[in-house]
Amino acid sequence: MKLDPARALVALVLSCAVISTFISSVAAQGTTVSTNRTVQSETPLLGFSRAATIARERELEARFDSLLRRENLREWMRRMSARPHHVGSPFGRENAEFIAAQFRSWGYETNIEEFQVLFPTPRTRLLEMTAPEPFTARLTEPPVTGDATSSQTTEGLPIYNAYSRDGDVTGQLVYVNYGLPRDYDQLAERGIDVRGKIVIARYGGSWRGIKPKVAAERGAIGCL
């Protein structure tokens, strides 16, 4: 749409007037909000208007705080992480029953519900380097000194990326830093193309599930 100079000037003046009015209104509202917040901050306890109910609430909160024990938190964490407890595992069930028992002991009505979900696990895993020298990865992590749980191998899941598709691919290996879009952009600026290749990315920098997704979007056939 086109306006002649006179109408354009009028439209500009009207726009400025409307903007000025809007800013003044917002400023006034801002003052009101600020005042209300000041009043609310002076209220002893939000949601409680009578002194008797406020005192009762403070008493209940103090009782709750007095029951918290760091020793309990440490022991519960040690107990629930003592064995592998992925979805569907025997120890996962034991943890659920333990947590339910705790809630029942505190007076809560508690039930355990079960759901059938898709949870694929690998049957065969193989990672080999064919050149310049042959190398076969063990795909296992060594135990960590001082951590007894790190030596458990019978109940734990193997190292793998959940929900990966089946496949057997061979290709050149390209290091892609964290495997984020900006890393691929920098490689492209240097003339490095990952299409048809296998990429290897560092851990961290983003959620690990993003790395194979971005790799596939950039044309890679595999991601480590």
pLDDT digits (tens, 9 = 90+) for 160-219: 888 888 889 999 999 999 999 999 999 999 999 999 999 999 999 999 889 999 999 999
Would the pLDDT of 4 be above 60?
A: no
**Residue type at 123?**
R
Residues 10-21 pLDDT 10s: 333 333 333 333
* Max avg pLDDT among 68-82, 135-149, 173-187: 173-187
> What is the tally of helices (H) and strands (E) in the chain?
6, 5
Q: Which residue has the higher pLDDT, 221 or 208?
A: 221
Note the pLDDT of residue 44: 62
User: In this structure, what token pair is assigned to residue 204?
Assistant: 């961290």
Phi-psi region of 59 (alpha: psi -120 to 50; beta: other; left: phi over 0): alpha
Of 161, 160, 192, the closest CA to residue 175 belongs to 192
Tell me if residue 210 falls in helix, strand or coil: helix
Note the pLDDT of residue 9: 33
Average pLDDT over residues 115-134: 91
Cα torsion angle, 70, 74, 79, 80, sign: positive
Of 11-15, 40-44, 53-57, 114-118, the poorest mean pLDDT is in 11-15
Average pLDDT over residues 33-53: 59
Q: What is the DSSP letter of 174?
A: E
Q: Which residue has the higher pLDDT, 175 or 54?
A: 175
Q: Which residue has the higher pLDDT, 47 or 107?
A: 107
Cα atoms in the Cβ-side hemisphere of radius 13 Å centred on 71? 1
Q: What is the mean pLDDT of the chain?
A: 81
